[in-house]
Structures are given as structure tokens and as C-alpha cells.
Structure 1
Amino acid sequence: MITRIEIDGFKSFLDFQLDVPPFLALVGPNSSGKSNLFDALQYVRHAALRDEDPLLASRRGRPHELFHRVRKGTGVTRFDLRAHTLTQLGEGLLPNLYEAGAELGEDGLPESAEVRWSPPKDILNRLSPWMRDKYGDAVLELVRAAQLLPEEDVDAWRLSRRVVESEVGTWRLHQPDPDRLRGWSSAADHGPLRADGSNLASVLGRLSSRGAIEELLVDLVALIPDIAGIEPILDDRRQEWTFDVLVDGQGAIPSTLLSDGTLRVIALLAALHDPDHAGVLLIEEIENGLHPSRLAELLRRIQGRVTDLDDPECVNRPLRQVILTTHSPVVVSELYRLRPDALVFLDTAVRVDPEKDRISRVTVAKPVKSEAVLSLRRRRGEHRDRRLPIDLRPRQDDRRAARAGERLPPALRPQRPQGTGQGGPGRAGLGNAHTRDRAGAGSGDRGVAPRGRGRVAPVERERPRTAARPPSGRREDRGPQENTRRGGAAPRKTRS
């Protein structure tokens, strides 16, 4: 599990640092550096495993193009990558620091630097109390492993290889190709889901034999309700797997007829539910092939599968982490509501370095956790009184009453001089709803009294009636001559 990333001089990054939670969504416009961050992690992986030259294994860019490009000034001749991790060893957690990089030689050709692995500095200060105990368990696990080796083979290299393979070997890129997802795959393939998903049928067959496909089906039905089941099929003669999907009203549909979106969802859930291959899953543009109305449910399903580092019992299960990129506003809105610490906005900015006389465009990270928490407090009204003791804070009912115009309790009611206000002297103040007087301010004045919830209506005092007076706004009935004399038209006669 990756806990922190530090990148300097690689592609669009200069002095870049980012703390990584178990569930992280990278959001940003095109060319903001989201895929470059995945490339940096893949570089560390290849350098640590030594399966191939990391400079040549880059999926995007030639070796000399991996260095940061500047618009003006001295160019970058070296890049360094650091990945802080938590490795699960037995019942313990071992913090690690992997360092990799490359440098331009005198001839201008890049050369990869030797990968280094070491415990981070001040390791105990960075761990929570329960993680410190798990760190001790991991150290004991390493000691036991060293005791099982012959004396001539006990060295740091053998032990470090075991740690490296158990950590960076679990970092997997997830970029499924629908055409490859439909194909057959060998029954001898017991590995994790490949980046292009070409062994999806083998993974589903292994999940079926392990009894883990039922949990996958629960999440799949929540995302695509028409699906009733998944049936892996093994061809004994060819020793290859394929699979059918059971659809309500249609029966068994072979994988060759399934839509791209359905195949993408099945592949993602297969990687999340694989009990034999947990680790870090790097997902490019998770919204591809999925209807926007299902994205929120997919995020909730992913959140339920990743590791919760606040729970000490997480060490009893394989560590699982998801880092994804997205352009979808649905993903941003849902995570902003449910888990704002999982959102990080990536953008680019022009950086000017006067010391090196260098101008370049770099990737910057903008976490939204603090802004999201403040926004939630503003919506709830908590920011107004959060510094007061709990027993002195006004209740929500009192705030609603103040907005609606009802009377506050006497202890919270502001005091105003009697007989002053917008109505002028001699009348009750009508401008403040909390200081209105029920009885008025003097004889002959109009008082106010509450009517209904939060509403104030004027109360007319009775006036002495000296003569019959028509209602206001109406003209009393007069005869035809009177109406004509006042300029009105005479009424038209009608025949009986």
C-alpha cells in the first residue's frame, strides 16, 4: 500500500509531494499530470523488481523524454522518485521507502539509477499507536525468515527481495481492452488480472473455484440489475476458460456478445474481489463504459473493498488500495459528499525559479478536504458557534426561529428601546421581528400580534362609526340619474 509519493524532475513534476490514502481519486483537466503520476509509480515498480529496464519499459515516452521539460533556463538532468509504502508481513505492517531515478550522462544518454530500499526516517513518529505494535510484529517476521535461511545466504539482499516482491509486485495498472476481455484464456494462468484484462476468463474461473464469485455477483447486480449470474466455462480439451452472463429474459449470453461497458464492469469487480491478489489498483478513467447513474454506486462498492487504516483489524485481511483518475463530475460530486479526503485536484501552473533562471509548467496538487469540511459546516451552520461551549451554542431550532421571525428565548433575545424602530417614535418597532410588541406602543396606534408560525399580521383597532360607510375600494349603489350626473353612463334598459 502506497502512503506517500515524492517526484522531482520526472515529466511534469518538480518537487511534487502527495500523501496517498487507501482510496484516492485524481481529478483534473487534460494534460494535468494524472497519467504521469501512474507512469512514475510504474517506473518505481520496474526498477524495484528489475524485471526490465525501467527507462525502456515506460508505456509513454522515450527514455530521454521522461525528464522534466523547461521553456527557459537550465534543463533537468536528473529525476528522483520516492514511494513510501506499508507492506503486510504476516500479522505485521512494515513501512518502506523505495527510491529510484535516472540521470543524463555526459553523452546525453539517460542511465537509470540503482533502486534503494530502506525504512523511512523517524518511522515510529509517523505511525499511529496500533501501527507501532504491528511494526514490531513485522520485524519479528523478518527475523524468523532470516533464521530459516542458511547462514551463507543470510544477507540483506535475500530479505529485501522478499519485501520488494510482496509490495511493488502488487501494483497493477487497470486499462482493460474490451476486445481482449472477450477472449479465451489458459487454465494454467493463476495470476492477477492483467492490465488489458486478457485473462479475465481465467480469473473468473479461479474465483468460482474459490467461492468468491458470489460476492462479485452481489456488486454486479447492484450496478447492472438485469444480470442474474456469471457462469465460467472450462474447455477440458483446450484447457481454456470462457464465461457466459445470465440475463433476465434472455438466458445465457456468451462473452463475445456482451457490451463493452458490461465487460469493463465485470473486469473491475474481478480485480477488486480477487482474494489471492490484493494490493494497489491503478484505474484510468473509471467512468468509461458505465452509465453516469451507476457511478455513485460503483464508488460506494469500491469504498467497501479498500482497506481502512483506522481499523486495527485491517491487518487480518489483505491490504487493498485503489487510485483512480476521472473527468466525471458525478465522481467528484459523490466523493465530495461521502469522502472528501479521497479527492485531489491536479492542475498545472507556470513555475519561475530565479536561482536557476528556469521557467517551466509543473503539476500541482490541490486537496479539497479542508474546503469540503468547511463547506459542510457552513451548510449546517456549525461555523458560527464552533468556538463556544456546547451548552452555550444556540440550537438549530433557535436559528430556524430567528430566520422565520419567531420570538427567541429571553436569554438569547436582543434588547431594543421601547417605542423606537422603523415605525418612528410613538409606534412599536416593526423592523425587527424579535422585538415587536403584542399590545402596541400607545393609544390609537396599531399593535402587532403573531398569526400562525413565524408570521406577524397587523391588528386593526375598532373605530367609532359615525355614519354608514361603504367598504373601501367600492362605490355605493346609486340611481341612474346620480350615476349620469357624476359622469357615469346610464344603465341600459332590458326587455322583460
Structure 2
Amino acid sequence: MISRLAIEGYRSIRSLVVDLAPLTVVTGANGSGKSSLYRALRLLADCGEGRIIASLAGVGGLDAVRWAGPERGTAGGQRTEGTVRSGPVALRLGVATDSVGYAIDLGLPVAQRSAFDLDPEIKQEHVFAGSDPRPAGVLVERRRGAARVRLDDGWSDLAAGMHPWASVLDEFAGRADAAELAGTRRMLRGWRFHDALRTDAGAPARQPQVATRAARLDDDGANLAAVLQTAIEMGWDRELERAVADAFPGSRLRLPVVDGRMTVALEQPGMLRPLSAPELSDGTLQYLLLTAAMLSAEKPGLIVLNEPERSLHADLLPALAARIRDAASETQVLVVTHQAALADELGGLRVELEKVSGETRVAGREGPLDQPSWHWPRR
């Protein structure tokens, strides 16, 4: 389970460290920084896939996402105007479990003489033991082009000339003497994000799809019927029946297969025929998609839901909260929402964000000393 998340120099986040629980609910007013926290998590997941440089370039490079406020933050709730940046540009992301963690430090090239000026460089990477990247706990260290691993008898070099866009998680994850790299990459790759589930008239989930087993829900929800049928055949039919009954009393889910293609349909009281997928309301389809995400056969290390209440009537929030709480008994779940009613139904650990002089902070914290312990390695 992820126990701690650290972000520095990203959008409205100058410096933020938060502890996470099996079920964490991130709330706050519009513009408080919830989306920044969510996107930072997605960037960390991109580290596991080896595409963080491309992801940053795709949104305009480091300059487009870096912290734009005063270098030293605010004092007494008042912004210091007219400050001049003296330190290097840095975007730092970190995550830790109780046993191992990962931190990455990205910056701008020293001399931008390339056609790829939007690409930042990886200045540092650290894999460490525990929940804080203190020097004594570092297991793998990468500083610019040099990387090394800590063995029982001291440090051993992994590389001396790494490319600035290459990550140690990709380059050395197969090394027997650096097993922590493979474990860290698996952890980051095991996260699932759901914020692009489509419910519009042309949504793939409304169209028949090839009937083949599916262990996880596609990003756009195209394989909805296959995920639900796979869950049924894995023995979770009662859980699915309860999910439908909680939200739509008296209704029954159907998953018809015609010519090797399957889709979803819903039998409802008083209706002479099931409603087919194209006839379902956006809210009904959204609820079924989220239910499929929670019941999928593949159990990831972390599920992140960004504003799952979209399109849902308030009456469906208790049923959705029940699905999320059930999932959190097996999988760590983080929910980002501005819907107070959903947050209250969910319970779990509440992290409320607020904007103070343009800077995202956790409500109730007076200053950096109130944050959980986290020591970024110095460049």
C-alpha cells in the first residue's frame, strides 16, 4: 500500500506531502489543486512505463506545468511579489510504501541546443527503503548520467553515461543486484486511473464488442460487458447483483451475446423488454462502468477515481460509495471529488485541499513543519 505521496514544483503545488490510507478521499473547492494532485499521480505512473518525458513534452514541456509562484512560497498568507528565481527549475515527484519508495527530480537542460527543447531531463532518481528518501535509506541512486546500487559491501556502479531521458526503472529493472528497481516499476505500472470513461451517445460501451475475457476495464470503458461477464464467471455474480439492486431496485443486468459480440442491457420493473446499452442514461452507464472497474478480475495495487460522481444523480451516490468501500477492502483506492455528499458516504481518510495565495495546501496545516516527513535529495 502506498503510504506517502510527495509533490514539489508542479502547477499550483509548490510543496505538498500527504499520507495515504487504504481509502483516501481528496476534496476541496474548485481550483484548490485536486486536479494537480491527480495529474501528478499519473506522471508517477508514467515513470513506471518509461514515458514521463514524452508526457511532459505533450503538454508543452516543463515550463507549462512547473510551479509559477514565488520560489520561497508565502509568508503570513501574503504573496511576495517581484521575487526573482535563483534556484534551478525542478519538478519533483515521490511515492513510498512502508518498505520501499521512489523519487524523481526533473529539470531543464543546461544548454538548450536541440530541436527537442520541450523535453526536460531526469536530474536524479532514488529508490529507497522506508517512507522518506533520507540518504541512509537510499538503495539505488541516479545523479545525472551516473547510477549506482547499494550492496551489502558498499556501492556498485550501474552506469556512468545514462541518457538524460532514460530512467533507471527501464534501463536496469532486470538486474539481479538491483531487484528493488523491478519491484518499484511493477508498483507504478500496477496503478489504474479512471477519468475518461465515456457515456456519450457514441460511447464504445454502448456498442457491441467482441466477446472475450477481460480482466480490467479499458480506459474508455469499451469492454464493459466483457469485464462484467468475466467477473460473473470468476464467482462475483452476487456482488454484481447487489451492486445493481442497490442502485436500481428491482432491476436485473443482462449481457446478451449475438454473433460473438456482447453488450449490456438492463431489465427494469414495468418494462416489457430490457433497455439496451444505447438506451441507458448517462448516469446509469457511468454507474455500471464504475462498478466494472471495482469488480474487475485484475486487482491492481491502486485505483484512482477522478470525479466519479459525474452524470450521477444524488440518489446513486450511496450505492457508488458502497462499491468503492468494498473495493478498498482488497485494493487501495484514492478518490478525487468535489461532491461533499459522496465524500461523507465514503468515509476513509479525508484530505481537504485549499488554495492559499495561489498555493495548494492541505487544509488545517499551518506550515511546512506540519507536513509528513520527506527529505528531497539535493542536486
TM-score, normalised to structure 1's length?
0.55
CA deviation string 1:411-437 (max 9, x = no partner): xxxxxxxxxxxxxxxxxxxxxxxxxxx
Supply the distance in 2 between the matched residues of 1:258 and 1:217 (Cα, whole angstroms): 18
Shift of 1:268: 0.7
**Kept in 1: contact 2:256–2:262 (CA 8 A):** yes
Asked if 1:201 is matched to 2:225, the reply is yes
The residue type paired with residue 325 of structure 1 is V
Shift of 1:260: 0.8
**Kept in 2: contact 1:77–1:103 (CA 8 A):** yes
Using a 3 Å threshold, how does the CA distance of structure 1 residues 191 and 274 change in structure 2: closer, same or farther?
closer
Supply the distance in 2 between the matched residues of 1:97 and 1:47 (Cα, whole angstroms): 13
Q: Secondary structure at the match of 1:57?
A: helix
Q: Structure 2 stretches of 5 or more lacking a match?
A: 71-81, 134-173, 366-379
Using a 3 Å threshold, how does the CA distance of structure 1 residues 245 and 296 change in structure 2: closer, same or farther?
closer
Quote the residue 1:365 is aligned against: 362
The residue type paired with residue 362 of structure 2 is A
Over the aligned positions, Cα root-mean-square deviation in angstroms equals 2.7
Percent of aligned positions that are identical: 24
Supply the distance in 1 between the matched residues of 2:315 and 2:331 (Cα, whole angstroms): 26
Supply the distance in 1 between the matched residues of 2:327 and 2:33 (Cα, whole angstroms): 27
Shift of 1:106: 2.5
Supply the distance in 2 between the matched residues of 1:267 and 1:171 (Cα, whole angstroms): 18
Aligned residue among 308, 312, 316 for 1:290? 312
Quote the residue 1:82 is aligned against: 94
CA deviation string 1:57-90 (max 9, x = no partner): 259832221211126423460111110136xxxx
Q: Secondary structure at the match of 2:352?
A: strand
Shift of 1:219: 1.6
Asked if 1:281 is matched to 2:315, the reply is no
**Kept in 1: contact 2:208–2:263 (CA 8 A):** yes
Shift of 1:362: 1.4
Quote the residue 1:330 is aligned against: 341
Quote the residue 2:41 is aligned against: 41
Using a 3 Å threshold, how does the CA distance of structure 1 residues 154 and 234 change in structure 2: closer, same or farther?
farther
Aligned residue among 229, 243, 246 for 2:264? 243
Shift of 1:321: 1.7
Q: Secondary structure at the match of 2:83?
A: coil
The residue type paired with residue 229 of structure 1 is L
Number of positions where the alignment pairs a residue of Structure 1 with one of Structure 2: 300
Q: How does 1:289-308 map to 2 (within 5 A)?
A: 289-307=311-329
Asked if 1:259 is matched to 2:281, the reply is yes
Supply the distance in 2 between the matched residues of 1:16 and 1:364 (Cα, whole angstroms): 7
CA deviation string 1:166-212 (max 9, x = no partner): 42222111121111321333445634212321222221232232232
Asked if 1:26 is matched to 2:26, the reply is yes
Using a 3 Å threshold, how does the CA distance of structure 1 residues 226 and 243 change in structure 2: closer, same or farther?
same
Larger mean Cα displacement after TM superposition, 296-305 or 26-35: 296-305
Shift of 1:36: 0.9
Using a 3 Å threshold, how does the CA distance of structure 1 residues 328 and 180 change in structure 2: closer, same or farther?
same
CA deviation string 1:84-114 (max 9, x = no partner): 136xxxxxxxx22011231012246422346
**Kept in 2: contact 1:189–1:199 (CA 8 A):** no
CA deviation string 1:21-48 (max 9, x = no partner): 1111111122211111111111111112
Aligned residue among 330, 346, 355 for 1:348? 355
Supply the distance in 2 between the matched residues of 1:283 and 1:200 (Cα, whole angstroms): 17
Shift of 1:18: 0.5
CA deviation string 1:148-174 (max 9, x = no partner): xxxxx76135x3454235422221111
**Kept in 1: contact 2:214–2:223 (CA 8 A):** no
**Kept in 2: contact 1:172–1:195 (CA 8 A):** no
The residue type paired with residue 65 of structure 2 is L
Q: Secondary structure at the match of 1:290?
A: coil
Shift of 1:264: 0.7
The residue type paired with residue 201 of structure 1 is A
Quote the residue 1:9 is aligned against: 9
Supply the distance in 2 between the matched residues of 1:324 and 1:59 (Cα, whole angstroms): 27
Aligned residue among 92, 97, 101 for 1:97? 101
Supply the distance in 1 between the matched residues of 2:33 and 2:256 (Cα, whole angstroms): 39
CA deviation string 1:268-301 (max 9, x = no partner): 1111112323331211212212211331342234
Q: Secondary structure at the match of 2:303?
A: strand
Q: Secondary structure at the match of 1:73?
A: coil
Q: Structure 1 stretches of 5 or more lacking a match?
A: 87-94, 124-152, 308-318, 351-360, 369-496
Supply the distance in 2 between the matched residues of 1:107 and 1:331 (Cα, whole angstroms): 49
Using a 3 Å threshold, how does the CA distance of structure 1 residues 198 and 117 change in structure 2: closer, same or farther?
farther
TM-score, normalised to structure 2's length?
0.71
Shift of 1:329: 2.9
Q: Secondary structure at the match of 2:267?
A: strand
Aligned residue among 121, 131, 139 for 1:111? 121
Supply the distance in 2 between the matched residues of 1:16 and 1:162 (Cα, whole angstroms): 27
Quote the residue 1:171 is aligned against: 191
More strand, by proportion? 2
Q: Secondary structure at the match of 2:37?
A: helix
Supply the distance in 1 between the matched residues of 2:309 and 2:125 (Cα, whole angstroms): 35
The residue type paired with residue 44 of structure 1 is L
Supply the distance in 1 between the matched residues of 2:130 and 2:313 (Cα, whole angstroms): 43
The residue type paired with residue 67 of structure 1 is R
